[in-house]
């Protein structure tokens, strides 16, 4: 079984979805500490041709609290404002009607638990793109919760009966092939072919690594499914 493990991010960039698409099972790592000013509850869209950062508000954000113990404080008014901001930014995009309905449903999901809220957003996009990968929450797995870093990842892989573990290229310095090999797990890193993922936005200069909202708004499902395979696996 091929497995990937990532923290929960709200409507993240394409590399996250490529990783999810590349595996049989995707574990959302929600029983680690929340990261302030990270991408768990923040992302960027294009407004007037420039990246604009939006945030999903959380209660008493603390890096001493687990993600799965973190709560939202996302009011109806704030949700309406975010929906309006995204709608105004992409109302001329070719896939706006269908995608805006999807995004509005995700934002308006009635849930205060941060993990559950983001899990729902990931599942909705997975369903929309017909990705067949199974999703799991790390906090729900029976495992040794005292382990940290690489040992934690290997433990989850063993619980999930993994024989191939795939991680983003950014983590190459964090993991040792030999440690995985001892547990009969092959380690690979996913490298996105960024020059192959270029599509027409509203401005002439392409702006990469935005929220998946941008990708969805400007591309039909068939094109996105092709983009999901534009990566290389590196040992």
Is 161 exposed, middle or buried (CB count within 10 Å of its CB: 0-12, 13-18, 19+)? Answer: exposed
What pLDDT, on the 0 to 100 scale, is given for residue 205?
86
Please enumerate in sequence order all residues whose Cβ is within 8 A of that of 32, keeping only pairs 6 or more positions apart, or say none.
Answer: 7, 66, 67, 138
Counting the structural domains of the chain, the total is 1
Tell me if the pTM is above 0.85.
yes
What pLDDT, on the 0 to 100 scale, is given for residue 162?
98
What pLDDT, on the 0 to 100 scale, is given for residue 64?
87
Geometric angle at alpha carbon 226, from 210 and 222, rounded to 5°: 95
3-state secondary structure 44-59: EEEECCEEEEEECCEC
How would you write the pLDDT of the chain (235 residues) with one tens digit per residue?
999 999 999 999 999 999 999 999 999 999 999 998 889 999 999 998 899 999 999 998 888 899 999 999 999 999 999 999 999 999 999 999 999 999 999 999 999 999 999 999 999 999 999 999 999 999 999 998 888 899 999 999 999 999 999 999 988 888 999 999 999 999 999 999 999 999 999 877 899 999 999 999 999 999 999 999 999 999 9
Range of the domain at 140: 2-234
What pLDDT, on the 0 to 100 scale, is given for residue 146?
85
What pLDDT, on the 0 to 100 scale, is given for residue 12?
98
In angstroms, the first-to-last Cα distance of the chain is 17
């Amino acid at each position: 079984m091929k497995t990937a493990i990532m923290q929960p991010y709200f409507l993240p960039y394409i590399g996250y979805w490529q990783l999810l698409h590349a595996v049989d099972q995707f574990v959302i790592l929600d029983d680690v500490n929340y990261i302030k000013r990270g991408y768990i509850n923040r992302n960027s869209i294009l407004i007037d041709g420039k990246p604009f950062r939006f945030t999903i508000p959380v209660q008493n954000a603390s890096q001493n609290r687990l993600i799965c113990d973190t709560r939202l404080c996302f009011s109806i008014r704030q949700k309406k404002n975010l929906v309006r901001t995204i709608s105004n930014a992409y109302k001329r995009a070719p896939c706006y009607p269908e995608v805006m309905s999807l995004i509005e449903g995700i934002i308006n999901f009635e849930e205060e638990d941060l993990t559950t809220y983001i899990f729902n957003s990931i599942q909705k996009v997975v369903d929309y793109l017909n990705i067949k990968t199974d999703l799991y929450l790390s906090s729900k797995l029976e495992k040794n919760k005292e382990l940290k870093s690489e040992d934690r990842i290997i433990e989850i892989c063993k619980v999930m009966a993994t024989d191939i573990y795939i991680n983003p290229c950014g983590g190459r310095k964090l993991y040792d092939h030999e440690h995985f090999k001892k547990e009969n797990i092959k380690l690979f890193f996913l490298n996105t072919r960024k020059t192959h993922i270029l599509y027409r936005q509203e401005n002439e200069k392409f702006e990469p690594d935005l929220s998946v909202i941008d990708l969805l708004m400007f591309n039909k499902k068939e094109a996105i499914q092709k983009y999901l395979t534009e990566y290389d696996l590196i040992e």
